[in-house]
């Protein structure tokens, strides 16, 4: 999978994102790193912030398209 | 006892639990290793559980925690996060603070690390 469909899922889940990045870590299309900074994440624990990302990407996570996911989130400053 | 009962039991009765792929002496996944190393740097007394012996373990764990991936770290019964969060908290010093708050100042004194197997 390319990074574009993942980016679109995240953009839909975080329309307020000030920073949104999807990186294919190995070039193999299944190990990804996502970075999301959004005001809607402010005030949430890291666990809750990462949960939001997992929810946004539940389809590609569930069907095995994403084999490994690294997440970096921040509430907007 | 079902896996679910055993998982809940170990989460509730252990200070720090790491659900991982492999064991501390034979880690089978890079992310499990990242979490383990971060916990070791913080001096956490880790109780490790290998999820690989039976896919059912992972399934039942995720149903309990609402967290889809492995590793998963719990401190005093509460989900702290996966590898990314634990690493981030260790680097910022927050992990040590949390451990001190929840386990007491001498949490690292024993440095015991153990592996617990679940019965299928």
Q: What ipTM was predicted for this assembly?
A: 0.90
**pLDDT at residue A77, rounded to an integer:** 63
All domains in chain B, ordered by first residue: 3-104 (3.40.30.10)
Distance of CA B81 to the CA centre of its chain: 9
Q: Is there a contact between B84 and A47 if contact means CB atoms under 8 Å apart?
A: no
CATH number at residue A35: 3.30.300.90
Expressed as residue numbers, the domain containing A65 is: 3-75
Q: Give contacts of A50 with chain B, Cβ < 8 Å.
A: 81-82, 84-85
d(CA A37, CA A67): 23
Please state the domain count of chain A. Answer: 1
Q: Is there a contact between B69 and A69 if contact means CB atoms under 8 Å apart?
A: yes
d(CA A72, CA A35): 5
Q: pTM for the full model?
A: 0.93
| pLDDT, tens only, A33-49 | 999 999 999 999 999 99
Q: Is there a contact between A47 and B85 if contact means CB atoms under 8 Å apart?
A: yes
- Angle CA(A41)–CA(A42)–CA(A47) in degrees, nearest 5? 60
Nearest-CA neighbor of B53 among B21, B25, B77?
A: B21
| pLDDT, tens only, B17-69 | 999 999 999 999 999 999 999 999 999 999 999 999 999 999 999 999 999 99
Q: Does A25 touch chain B (CB under 8 A)?
A: no
């Amino acid at each position: 999978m390319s990074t574009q469909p993942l980016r679109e899922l995240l953009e839909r889940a975080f329309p307020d994102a000030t920073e949104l990045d999807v990186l294919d870590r190995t070039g193999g299309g299944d190990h990804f790193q996502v970075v999301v900074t959004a005001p809607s994440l402010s005030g949430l624990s890291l666990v809750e912030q990462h949960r939001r990302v997992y929810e946004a990407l539940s389809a590609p996570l569930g069907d095995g398209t994403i084999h490994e996911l690294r997440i970096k989130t921040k509430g907007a400053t | 006892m079902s896996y679910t009962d055993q998982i809940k039991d170990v989460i509730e009765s252990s200070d720090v639990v790491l659900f991982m792929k492999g064991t501390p002496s034979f880690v089978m996944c890079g992310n499990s290793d990242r979490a383990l190393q971060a916990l070791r740097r913080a001096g956490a007394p880790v109780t490790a559980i290998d999820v690989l012996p039976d896919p059912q373990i992972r399934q039942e764990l995720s149903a309990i925690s609402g967290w889809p991936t492995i590793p998963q770290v719990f401190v005093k019964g509460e989900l702290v996060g996966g590898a990314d969060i634990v690493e981030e908290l260790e680097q910022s010093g927050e992990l040590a603070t949390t451990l001190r708050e929840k386990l007491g100042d001498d949490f690292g004194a024993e440095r015991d690390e153990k592996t617990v197997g679940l019965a299928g």
